[in-house]
Amino acid sequence: MVWCPKYRRPVLVGPVAERLRDLIGQKCDEHGWSIVALEVMPDHVHLFVRADPNASPSYIANQFKGFTSRVLRDEFSHLRSRLPTLWSRSYFVSSVGNVSAVTIQRYIETQWERPWRKRGAS
């Protein structure tokens, strides 16, 4: 799964990023899902999660986005003042099939090794 803050603002840094990681873990524990890999970038989140195949991808994404938005905006007032909502409406979800789980995990874990570029930069 991949999702971004509204307007792709780079607000997922420092204590906000740490708290987001904790909240994602709480939501996984609540549903019995497991995190295979997680990277919180300043302007997006990569999450590789193992979940019940009966749970729809939209349900899983909405559980993470709704819960984390509510809590983070309550705890960090600058998120309320800078953004009308924390997350954009869109997200990307794909299931593991054509590539191995190891390949996806390696991709997510190496995201910080790549230079972070602002949106629109080549």
107 is catalytic: yes
Catalytic residue among 7, 59, 91, 107: 107
Three-state DSSP string of the chain: CEEEEHHHCCCCCHHHHHHHHHHHHHHHHHHCCEEEEEEEECCEEEEEEECCCCCCHHHHHHHHHHHHHHHHHHHCHHHHHHCCCCEEEEEECCCCCCCCHHHHHHHHHCHHHCCCCCCCCC
Catalytic sites, residue numbers: 107
